[in-house]
Structure 1
């Protein structure tokens, strides 16, 4: 028969009632539907560790800049 009781690690991991918004990084209730700080819907996306939204947006900007640069390069090569 298997042990159905949660382990000490499980209890420690799930003991917190708060988490962090995946969009703004602020601390929120772990079962929140919407972040009270930024207003984004966070249902089932609450993180246990604080995220770095600035780092994520920098990478998005970098991706956009690269795509635009590639499009411009492609157009430049086509019209030569």
Structure 2
């Protein structure tokens, strides 16, 4: 199970929540959602939570893939290990 949220108000303590879904929906939008217009001078923050299958292998890492079009219209991508 993976949960990914974006918003403007996540804090480091939110990552320790026993209910990341409640925090994610109250402070942001789920993956695939649309963020509201950015507050002046602010960058988005993200909340990621994952649960491994209890009878499967351990989780190695989260990877967040950022994709965008550059000023020439070329597709770009960067992978972040979390």
TM-score range, shorter chain: under 0.3
Structure (1 or 2) with the greater helix fraction: 1
Compare relative contact order (CA 8 Å, sep 6+) and give the higher one, 1 or 2. 2
Structure (1 or 2) with the greater strand fraction: 2
What's the TM-score, normalizing by structure 1? Answer: 0.20
Q: Which has the larger radius of gyration?
A: 1
